[in-house]
Structures are given as C-alpha cells and as structure tokens.
C-alpha cells in the first residue's frame, strides 16, 4: 500500500511549510488527486488519519478534490477525457492517447492557525 508513504510525504510537506511559514496548527488539508494517479482516496484518507497522530495536523480534516483524467488523442487530434491511464480514446477507440492531466497529486491548500 503506497498510500501510507504518500500520507507520510504529505505530513512532511505540512511540517516543512509550518516551519517556513510559522504556523502552529493545521485544521484542514485540501488535496487534489487525479483519477489517473493510481491513488486510492479511501486508503489515503485512512493512512492520513494514522500518520497525523502526534503532529501539528492531528485532528485535521482531509478534503480530497477529484481531478478528471484528460489526454490528447493522436488520431483524432483532439483533447479527450480519460477514465483510465492507458484506456482508449472515447471518441475513436484508438490507444494512441497521451495523458495530459489527472496523473498528479498535490496539496492545494491548508487551513492553519
């Protein structure tokens, strides 16, 4: 389960931001997760709750923002919505599709005190 290491990385980012920005407590974390990022949101939420214990983010609320997958079909020469990383183009069925979005995961915002 790589979601545990992802959750630990999020806490590390939060602690680094707290050190550089001077805040003492995090009450909420907004996290963007692309549908093509190979991250299971429920597993990440469970892991996040476990790794924030004893940190400045203990008790914080994790808000997950779902980011749609997108790509460029080389046969259609059109942008398309993707449901799977190596899935076919929904318009023409070609597998010559380059993912252009929805593969990322990033901390978008923190609510702090």
CA 8, distance to chain mean position in Å, is: 13
Crossing angle, helix 3-21 and helix 41-51, to 10 degrees? Answer: 50
For the entire predicted model, the pTM comes to 0.87
Contacts of 31 (CB under 8 A, 6+ apart): 10, 44, 62, 63, 64, 65, 105, 106, 107, 108
The pLDDT score that the predictor gives to residue 67 is: 97
Phi/psi of residue 8, nearest 5 degrees: -65, -40
Class (C level, CATH) for 3-112: alpha beta
Residue 79 clears pLDDT 80, i.e. is over it? yes
Q: Residue 36, SS3?
A: coil
What are the pLDDT digits (tens) for 48-71?
999 999 999 999 999 999 999 999
Token pair in block for residue 14:
């939060």
């Amino acid at each position: 389960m790589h979601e545990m290491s992802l959750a630990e990385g999020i806490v590390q980012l939060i602690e680094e931001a707290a050190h550089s920005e001077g805040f003492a407590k995090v009450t909420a974390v907004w996290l963007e997760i692309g549908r093509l990022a190979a991250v299971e949101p429920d597993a990440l939420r469970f892991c996040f709750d476990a790794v924030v214990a004893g940190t400045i983010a203990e008790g914080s609320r994790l808000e997950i923002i779902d980011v749609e997958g997108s790509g460029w079909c080389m046969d259609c020469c059109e942008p398309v919505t993707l449901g799977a990383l190596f899935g076919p183009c929904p318009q023409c069925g070609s597998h010559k599709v380059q993912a252009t979005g929805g593969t990322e995961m990033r901390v978008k915002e923190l609510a702090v005190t």
